[in-house]
Amino acid sequence: MEIVHISAECYPVAKAGGLGDVVGALPKYQQQLGHLAKVVMPMYRSKYLYNHEWELVHESGTYLGNTWFRYAVIKEKTNELGFDLYLLDINGLLDREKVYGYDDDTERFTAFQIAVVHWLATWEHRPDVVHVHDHHTGLIPFMMKYCYAYQSLRSIKTVFTIHNGQYQGWMGWNKSHYLPSFDNWKSGMLEWKDSINALAAAVKCADKVTTVSQSYMEELRIQANGLEDLFEYEKGKCSGILNGIDTEVWDPETDPLLPYNYGIADVVEGKELNKKSVCQHFGLDADKPLFIFIGRLVGEKAAEILPSAIGEAAAEFNGALNFIVLGSGDPKLEYELQALQELIPNQMSCYIGYNEKLAHQLYAAADFLLMPSRVEPCGLNQMYALRYGTVPMVRNTGGLRDTVIDIGAPNFTGYGLVFEHPSVGDLKHAIHRAASWYFEKPDILLAARQKMMAIDNSWTKSAAAYIDLYKS
Ligand code: ADP
């Protein structure tokens, strides 16, 4: 099968969160299953762009509304990622340093999608499946079906995967002229509650819709930032396929970003050495249990409860715990975390920003990972933590529910800590459970670590599930 993935992110080219990890890994595993997988993404000014060699494969021009723009498609020469990687360049629009966060993001991603469809229409053959990811590519199934210029793409099957349903790519009807001219009788396919909604359009127009865990699929019918009825109505074509992790990139035995590599057999010594190194860097005492949080500092991750939960837990344990927070987001929260660090520097540190290397080192060094998320479509952090022998402490929601079993589960099947509410009280209670486990039951902790590290969360299973879905 030939599959074309279209996405705003793909690790290691450009990543802002889990979407990048998935699009960087899934095609590689689909190739390993004997299929031809390609990725098309915008050409940002990323390090990856400048460190690799490219060949020009297509150059042309088309319209965003009344504005003519030129675009070029370049392909990475060596296929080092294990699949064909294409970057689409639109001068002045896409070639920027950040992936998102510009005032003209609507124009940037709409132009990107139009150019991709324009390019696809010039191919001499047709791929079997066009697989689009999140709202930045959500208008593509509509364009392939209902834009007059792209009727030749109509027969290609489309799959839409929702990595995050909170962001939907809303656009006022005053911008509908951006799109190539389309069958006006079908304008309802673009709409949700009086505006163009790229995510809703993709749910309506794609042949199949997936989310990144089964539980998240069910939750979207109850809570989907206004699209609940749509998910209920379209449930027949929707399914959940749990993400995997790239076990080649995320392997504590070979991870080149770690100062000390380790496996199941030497997990105690290996984690201790990594912890010493991290704690030394942050001025913390490596003899204390280390709790970490990694992620966007936003409401979805319930990050705003961290300062109170950490501050109170630190006081209740008289300084016997360590915390490190790595993330960025809400400026007020960033400030609160930095203030807490100044208040209790021997117990809490934070790194405000994005740092891939530090993230790897923290997963290896930590004893516990905090994930109180309000919404977690799949969540990758908990799976990385499992692989690195770090106990995930998660809220019972979405993909966290599907991947972490509480240590108290019957028949000793559990290995993590699960709690119900994204609240200071629940998180603190979980920290108390973790600390007593750390201090009083090191044998059980070790057994849980070994059990977690042996869990297979690789892409092999999920990549095959996507292939079955395409075939259906
Ligand atoms: P999201 O909702 O942000 O996509 P996921 O759990 O699906 O959440 O994926 C988060 C990914 O981003 C993980 O690979 C995590 O390690 C990484 N990550 C998040 N924030 C940071 C950060 N500040 N520095 C480094 N890596 C980060």
Residue 87 confidence (pLDDT): 98
In this predicted structure, the answer to whether residue 410 has a pLDDT above a threshold of 90 is no
Digit-coded pLDDT (tens) for 24-79: 999 999 999 999 999 999 999 999 999 999 999 999 999 999 999 999 999 999 99
Alpha helices per DSSP H over 147-297: 198-205, 214-220, 228-233, 267-282
381 lines ligand 1 (CB under 6 A): yes
380 lines ligand 1 (CB under 6 A): yes
CATH class of 267-456: alpha beta
In this predicted structure, the answer to whether residue 210 has a pLDDT above a threshold of 90 is yes
| Contacts of the segment 44-47: beta carbons below 8 A, 24+ positions apart | 44/13, 44/14, 44/94, 44/95, 44/96, 44/97, 44/98, 44/99, 45/95, 45/96, 45/97, 46/13, 46/14, 46/97
CATH 3.40.50.2000 region(s) of the chain? Answer: 2-246+460-471, 267-456
Digit-coded pLDDT (tens) for 336-393: 999 999 999 999 999 999 999 999 999 999 999 999 999 999 999 999 999 999 999 9
Task: Judge whether 209 and 241 are in contact, CB under 8 Å.
Answer: no
The letter for the amino acid at 87 is: L
Give me ligand 1 centre to Cα 62, in Å.
Answer: 35
Q: How many CB atoms within 10 Å of residue 249?
A: 18
In this predicted structure, the answer to whether residue 139 has a pLDDT above a threshold of 90 is yes
Digit-coded pLDDT (tens) for 423-469: 999 999 999 999 999 999 999 999 999 999 999 999 988 999 999 99
Determine the Cα–Cα distance for residues 16 and 21; give it in Å rounded to an integer.
Answer: 9
Domain 2-246+460-471 has CATH 3.40.50.2000: yes
Say which residues have a Cβ less than 8 Å from residue 260's Cβ, sequence separation at least 6. 270, 273, 274, 277, 364
Task: Judge whether 275 and 366 are in contact, CB under 8 Å.
Answer: yes
Determine the Cα–Cα distance for residues 52 and 47; give it in Å rounded to an integer.
Answer: 9
135 by Cβ neighbours in 10 Å (0-12 / 13-18 / 19+) ranks as buried
Residue 461 confidence (pLDDT): 87
Catalogue the E-assigned strands of 216-347: 238-240, 290-294, 322-327
Residue 182 confidence (pLDDT): 97
CA distances from 67 to 70, 107, 142, 158, 390 (A): 10, 11, 21, 28, 52
Share of the chain above pLDDT 70, in %: 100
Determine the Cα–Cα distance for residues 351 and 278; give it in Å rounded to an integer.
Answer: 12
| Nearest atom (ligand 1) to Cα of 328 | 23
Q: What does the pLDDT average to over 184-204?
A: 97
Pocket test for ligand 1, best of 296, 355, 397 (most atoms within 8 A of CB): 296
Q: How many CB atoms within 10 Å of residue 454?
A: 11
Pocket test for ligand 1, best of 9, 11, 21 (most atoms within 8 A of CB): 21
Determine the Cα–Cα distance for residues 466 and 29; give it in Å rounded to an integer.
Answer: 11
pLDDT band (50, 70, 90) for residue 17: confident
